[in-house]
Amino acid sequence: MAEIDIRKDGKLGRITLNRPEALNALTYEMCLAIEKALDAWREDDDVKMLLIDAAGDRAFCAGGDIAEMYASGKRGDYEYGRRFWRDEYRMNAKLFEFPKPVASLMQGFTMGGGVGVGCHGSHRIVGESSQIAMPECGIGLVPDVGGSLILARAPGRLGEYIGTTGARLGADDAIYAGFADYYIPESDWPALTSALVESGDWELIDQAAQTPTEGRLKGQEAEINKHFGGETLGDILRSLQTEDSDFTSAAMRSLGRNAPLSMGCTVEIVHRLRGADDIRRALDLEYRFTYRSMEHADFIEGIRAAIIDKDRKPVWKHILGAPIDADVTKMLLPLGADALKL
């Protein structure tokens, strides 16, 4: 079976991620195939809307397939990763700007690169197993694939909190934070898919939506806004350290696992994007970081600790709480001739 199944089905253009054994992680070739389909269907009158789903029940898409990025980066060859990110981000922009309705069915894990495929459409559907997250700071990156724009548009300071801690969001929290639109029980998805194939009527999604079980973010929002409202990561840390509570203790544990430079840049990117609705601006900022991430940040060490050696003991370039503002500025400087071109 192909790792991605792209076809016209009734009134729909359908994209099915088909690597369930790898939690449907995106390969470079899958990114290019999605972009090719978007280009083909944009002006195709037979395609009334798009539906993106995935095989298996464990994950919609748990991220990008980064093994080759790591291997090439270890050799000092940074171009493969940069090309992957350039082409992936171009696909993300085309998906965000697609002129027809785009529905996604996101069961299980939707993380990192999966957010870039599943969370930029018009009808983003989650179910009872859904767990959406942007855990990039844990591997020395920043929330990318346009995810930084979703974080910047989240209520209050949820964006800074979700982006730096890598918090996992169930259905209700994902909808509240802006990563999804609809809760529909997963047992209803096959019938909904069949009806959409036959009719191409996206209003059927509105009719099928239900109210999910309440999540935890709304109950934590006051604490999140209080402690994650500073201008820098240092401000956030100092605020958390002034109070001893279950929330602050859990937040500090999460921050303590992640790369300080990545978290500092995440806070800065979210702040620069607040009030924006332009995914191209978000992708440009993200690419400034990812372009430099192997050579000047913690990406290679983060992948080593999480994926290669799996010791979960990364040695980051910075100690949590140490001054990083100058390095944050350097990571987010314009790239000049190497800037992302969409």
Residues 6 or more apart whose Cβ sits within 8 Å of residue 106:
54, 60, 114, 118, 119, 124, 125, 126, 127, 130, 132, 180
Q: Taking a C-beta distance cutoff of 8 angstroms, is the pair 260, 296 a contact?
A: no
Q: How far is CA 272 from the centre of its chain?
A: 18
DSSP string, 172-213: HHHHHHTS--EE--GGGHHHHHHHHHHH--THHHHHH-BPPP
Query: What's the pLDDT tens digit per position in 205-234?
Result: 999 999 999 999 999 999 999 999 999 999
Instruction: Give dist(CA 111, CA 88) in Å, integer.
Output: 15
Query: What's the pLDDT tens digit per position in 293-339?
Result: 999 999 999 999 999 999 999 999 999 999 999 999 999 999 999 99
The encoded tokens of residue 200 equal 């191409």
Q: How far is CA 296 from the centre of its chain?
A: 22
Closest C-alpha among 28, 44, 133 to residue 87: 28
Half-sphere exposure of 145 (CA within 13 A, CB side): 26
Give the percent of the chain with pLDDT over 90.
Answer: 97
DSSP single-letter state for residue 64? B
Q: How far is CA 74 from the centre of its chain?
A: 25
Q: Kindly give the interhelix angle for 79-96 and 279-296, rounded to the nearest 10 degrees.
A: 170
pLDDT of 1 over the 80 cut: no
Residues 6 or more apart whose Cβ sits within 8 Å of residue 29:
3, 4
Query: What's the pLDDT tens digit per position in 277-289?
Result: 999 999 999 999 9
Query: What's the pLDDT tens digit per position in 92-146?
Result: 999 999 999 999 999 999 999 999 999 999 999 999 999 999 999 999 999 999 9
Residue whose pair of structure tokens reads 């730096």 in the numeric block: 164
DSSP string, 114-147: HHHHHSSSSEEEE-TT-EEE--GGGGT--S-TTH
pLDDT of 173 over the 90 cut: yes
Give the β-pairing of 12-17 and 4-9. Answer: antiparallel
User: CA–CA distance from 249 to each of 266, 327, 338 (Å)?
Assistant: 21, 27, 41
Which domains, and CATH codes, for the chain? 1-342 (3.90.226.10)
Instruction: Give dist(CA 221, CA 229) in Å, integer.
Output: 11
Which pLDDT belongs to residue 66? 84
Average pLDDT over all residues of the chain: 97
pLDDT of 147 over the 80 cut: yes
3-class state of residue 106 by DSSP: strand
Give the percent of the chain with pLDDT over 70.
Answer: 100
Greatest C-alpha distance within the chain? 59
Q: Where are the alpha helices (DSSP H) in the chain?
A: 28-41, 67-74, 79-96, 113-118, 147-153, 158-165, 171-177, 189-199, 203-208, 217-227, 233-241, 246-257, 260-273, 279-296, 299-303, 325-331
Closest C-alpha among 139, 143, 133 to residue 310: 139
Query: What's the pLDDT tens digit per position in 45-64?
Result: 999 999 999 999 999 999 98
Q: What is the mean pLDDT of residues 249-262?
A: 98
